[in-house]
Structure 1
Amino acid sequence: MTSSDALNMLRNHPGYQTLVQRRNRLAFSLTVIVLGCYSLFVCAVSWRPDLLLIEPAVLGLTTGIWSALVLIIGSWLLTAVYVVRANGAFDHMTQVLLTEVNV
C-alpha cells in the first residue's frame, strides 16, 4: 500500500470525519467565546469607559483591571480545555483510527 492509498483510506474513513468535525466544532466554539468576550471588553472601553473606572472594595483595583484579568485567565482556561480534550479524546480517536486503517 502506498502512502497516498493510506491517506485516501484515512480521509474516507467515517471515524476520521467524526474526529475532524468534533475538533473543528470545539475549536470554533472556544474561538467564538474568546472573541466575543474580548469584543465586549473593547465595546465597554469604547462606549462606557466610566463602568471600568468603578473601584469595588476588593484590593483597590478598578473593574477595568478585574475585567482584563478575567479575560486573560479565562483565555488560559479555555486553552487548557482544548489541550485536555485534544490530548485525551482526540488522541484516543486518532489512535483507534490509525489502528483500523493500519497506517
Structure 2
Amino acid sequence: MDSSQDVVSAVMQHPAYQELLRRRNRLSLLFFVIAICIYAGFILTLAFDPVLFGQPLGDLTMSIGIFCATLVVFSAVIMIAIYVWISNKVFDPLLAQIIKDIK
C-alpha cells in the first residue's frame, strides 16, 4: 500500500474493524445511558425534593446533597477509568492486530 489513504480505507473495510466499531459504540452508549441516569436522577431529585438534599447526613455536618453530588462526580471518574481499562485491554490490541493484518 503506497499512501496513507489506502491504509485508512483498507482498515475501514476490514471486517474486524467493523466489529470493533460496533463493540466500542455499544460500550460508549451504555456508559452514556448510565451517566445520564445518574445525572438526571440527581437533578430531578434536586428539582422535586430540594428539602431532601438539605438534610444533614446522619450526625455529620455534610448534607445529603453534597454527598450525592460527590457520588455523581466519583461515578463519572469510575466510568472513565473502566472505559480506559477496557480500551487498553480490548480495543487497542484489536486495532493493532487489524493494522498488522493490513500491512
Common topology (TM > 0.5) = yes
For 1:93, the equivalent position in structure 2 comes to 94
Q: Percent identity?
A: 28
Cα root mean square deviation, aligned: 1.3
Flag as ranges the 4+ runs of structure 1 deviating above 6 A. Answer: none
TM-score, normalised to structure 2's length?
0.90
Shift of 1:39: 1.0
Matched, 1:8 2:9: yes
- For 1:33, the aligned partner's letter is I
C-alpha change, 1:58 and 1:86, in structure 2 (3 Å) is: farther
For 2:56, the equivalent position in structure 1 comes to 55
Give the 3-state SS of the residue equivalent to 2:57 in structure 1. coil
* Superposed counterparts of 1:6-85, under 5 Å: 6-57=7-58, 59-85=60-86
Gaps of 5+ in 2: none
Output one character per residue of 1:14-66: Cα deviation in whole Å (capped at 9) or x when no partner.
Answer: 11011111111111111111122111111111111011122232532111111
- For 1:76, the aligned partner's letter is V
Distance in 1, Cα, partners of 2:34 & 2:18: 24
Gaps of 5+ in 1: none
TM-score, normalised to structure 1's length?
0.90
Worse overlay, 76-85 or 28-37 = 28-37
- For 2:89, the aligned partner's letter is G
- For 1:70, the aligned partner's letter is L
